[in-house]
Amino acid sequence: MYYLNEKIKDNKSFLEVRKNLENVIKEITDIGELKFTIPDDLNGNLRGYQMEGYKWFKSLSYFNLGGILADEMGLGKTIQTITFLLSEKLKKSLVVVPTSLIYNWISEFNKFAPALKIGIVYGDVKERKKIIQDSDKYNILITTYGLLKNDIDDYKEINFEYLILDEGQNINNYKTQTAKVVREINSSIRFVLTGTPIENNLIELWSIFDFIMPGYLYSKDEFTRKFLKDDKNMLEELKLLISPYILKRNKKDVLKELPDKIENKVLVTLPKKQKELYDSLLLEIKNKINNEREKENTIELFSYLMKLRQMCLDPSLILESYSGNNGKLNVTEEIIEKNINEHKIVIFSQFTSMLKRIEEKIKYKNINYVYLDGSTSAKKRIELVEQFNNDENIRIFLISLKAGGTGLNLTSSDIVIHFDPWYNPGVHDQASDRAHRIGQKRVVNIYKLIAKDTIEETIYLMQEYKKNLINEVLENDDITDNDVLNSLSNEQIINIILR
């Protein structure tokens, strides 16, 4: 079934693999230059690089191959995918998306491909079951990862030609139920959409490829033996093996007209009282760790990390009686006051409790704003985005990082504030690209607030390390989060705290 795998399976040496892969890549490139015309009923125009993306889809599918569309956030992975599915509308397809993005996808299908009959597997159990049972009436079914797990038995008798996963990093942990369930869908060709094919380690890349083409990158144990070691030659072999299947473009290379994105690392000196409380908490935690190092479990260590991070943000998140100054909140107020009249501002935090503190300050200053967190429904998200982008009176968007870091188009804003750092920098990159994307007319300024002489500086260094590590395999690759802490050992967490 898998064309490249058949080409290389009998070759043992790296040079033989390289020679055969180069021939196949040339064949794929050549077929991409053939007459893959844009469907007449596409209601829109593709940019040049999007046309190449469409040809890439068509080329791989011609050989019964799948792949990873890994364009940087904001380059239009959705429209490229819809164009491809429209060209294959006589073949049955299933698209799986995060819950927060299902209405975005439906809106894009209606906008660019109104001729397609879309079966929306959403809503209550009876409605979903009816749509699945009537799948022959539709060109495409669309559902969410969560609902797919609930409904998996209803799909057992359906054979899809194409299975598309959006935000495909949802399956980069092969042990999760999500990663297992998507493999149960009967499908001939599989594509994954993600701006981040690798998040934290190479096993995640193996997991995605094992979904697209089971066995192509060997078994997990064999992959680990071959590639998870400090061997530049083996990394080069891995790059060669995966290169035909991954299409990745960066905004700076294909969107020459897109204004710059300027990142500003802002070291925030904590006020004396806040710093004293932080240092006292850190000392207490260090003593606990040193006294019972062997007994510390992961949950307790996560709790220590959480408390230290909260103390960097606002001591009142831990100590209700605290009424002193807050270093980061002071800096945020300064940025707002300086820019609020001429610029719209997006503020991200991982802590909804911190967003509420910021919200109080904004209310006090009589600034109009909108707010989004994990409790916001998919429909309400779209309403809030339209409200923010179209109402000049609304100047600030407060967003929970995990809830709103993907799937939002906020090009009316050109200032992004990351109130607190996360262990994986790609989370911030995705969030920042809510503003820095097609349609942005102004330079986007990103402010990353880092509490000086605290655990946040260590987290920032970890971000830089991860970028360098992953770039060994995917040049200029972005990184997103799939709960980085799950990949940290207790000893690594202790080192973060004790550093």
- Of 84, 61, 94, whose CA–CA distance to 166 is shortest? 94
DSSP designation for 195: S
pLDDT tens profile 118-152: 999 999 999 999 999 999 999 999 999 999 999 99
Structure tokens at 407: 């799937």
Give the model's pLDDT for residue 493.
Answer: 57
Same domain? For 275 and 154 the reply is no
**491 pLDDT higher than 70:** no
Give the model's pLDDT for residue 2.
Answer: 43
Give the model's pLDDT for residue 469.
Answer: 62
Same domain? For 232 and 283 the reply is no
Q: Which amino acid is at 75?
A: L
DSSP designation for 170: G
Give the domain CATH number at 32: 3.40.50.10810
Same domain? For 114 and 175 the reply is yes
Residue 51 binned pLDDT confidence (cut-offs 50, 70, 90): very high
Same domain? For 68 and 208 the reply is yes
Note whether 6 and 24 are within 8 A (CB): no
Residue where a domain stops, chosen among 188, 221, 253: 253
Residue 10 binned pLDDT confidence (cut-offs 50, 70, 90): very low
Give the model's pLDDT for residue 295.
Answer: 61
CA–CA separation, 31 vs 108, rounded Å? Answer: 28
Give the model's pLDDT for residue 479.
Answer: 36
Domain count, the chain: 2
CA–CA separation, 421 vs 229, rounded Å? Answer: 29
Structure tokens at 259: 């204004």
Same domain? For 293 and 230 the reply is no
Q: Which amino acid is at 214?
A: P
More confident site: 286 or 17: 286
Same domain? For 241 and 294 the reply is no
CA–CA separation, 446 vs 452, rounded Å? Answer: 18
**492 pLDDT higher than 50:** yes
Percent helix, percent strand, percent coil in the chain, to nearest 5:
50, 15, 35
Same domain? For 201 and 302 the reply is no
Strand locations in 31-144, DSSP E?
A: 67-69, 93-97, 118-120, 140-144
Same domain? For 56 and 118 the reply is yes
Give the model's pLDDT for residue 406.
Answer: 78
Number of C-beta neighbours around residue 454 at 10 A: 21
Q: Express as a percent the part of the chain with pLDDT over 70.
A: 84
Three-state DSSP class for residue 375: coil
Residue 496 binned pLDDT confidence (cut-offs 50, 70, 90): low
DSSP-derived pairing of the beta strands 415-418 and 345-349: parallel
Angle of helix 327-339 relative to helix 352-364, nearest 10 degrees, comes to 50
CA–CA separation, 404 vs 288, rounded Å? Answer: 36
- Averaged pLDDT for residues 315-333: 92
**484 pLDDT higher than 70:** no
Residue 55 binned pLDDT confidence (cut-offs 50, 70, 90): very high
Residue 362 binned pLDDT confidence (cut-offs 50, 70, 90): very high
CA–CA separation, 476 vs 252, rounded Å? Answer: 11
Q: Which amino acid is at 140?
A: I
DSSP designation for 226: H
Give the model's pLDDT for residue 486.
Answer: 44
Same domain? For 291 and 362 the reply is yes
Give the model's pLDDT for residue 498.
Answer: 60
What is the chain's Cα-based Rg?
24
pLDDT tens profile 329-348: 999 999 999 999 999 999 99
CA–CA separation, 133 vs 408, rounded Å? Answer: 32
What contacts 293, CB < 8 A, 6 or more positions away? Answer: 494
Same domain? For 63 and 208 the reply is yes
Angle at 278 between CA 275 and CA 281, to 5 degrees: 150
- Of 337, 299, 343, 384, whose CA–CA distance to 104 is shortest? 384
Give the domain CATH number at 489: 3.40.50.300
What contacts 238, CB < 8 A, 6 or more positions away? Answer: 202, 226, 227, 473
Note whether 267 and 44 are within 8 A (CB): no
Residue 239 binned pLDDT confidence (cut-offs 50, 70, 90): confident
DSSP-derived pairing of the beta strands 261-268 and 444-451: parallel
Residue where a domain stops, chosen among 201, 227, 253: 253
Q: Which amino acid is at 221?
A: D
Average the pLDDT over each of 44-58, 165-179, 286-300 and give the range with the smallest value. 286-300
CA–CA separation, 408 vs 436, rounded Å? Answer: 11
CA–CA separation, 64 vs 66, rounded Å? Answer: 7
Structure tokens at 493: 């967490």
Domain span at residue 140?
1-253
Angle at 475 between CA 470 and CA 477, to 5 degrees: 60
DSSP designation for 266: E
Same domain? For 407 and 341 the reply is yes
First to last CA, the chain: 51
Mean pLDDT of the chain: 87
Residue where a domain stops, chosen among 193, 224, 253: 253
CA–CA separation, 69 vs 71, rounded Å? Answer: 6
Enclosing H/E stretch for 444: strand 444-451
Same domain? For 228 and 168 the reply is yes
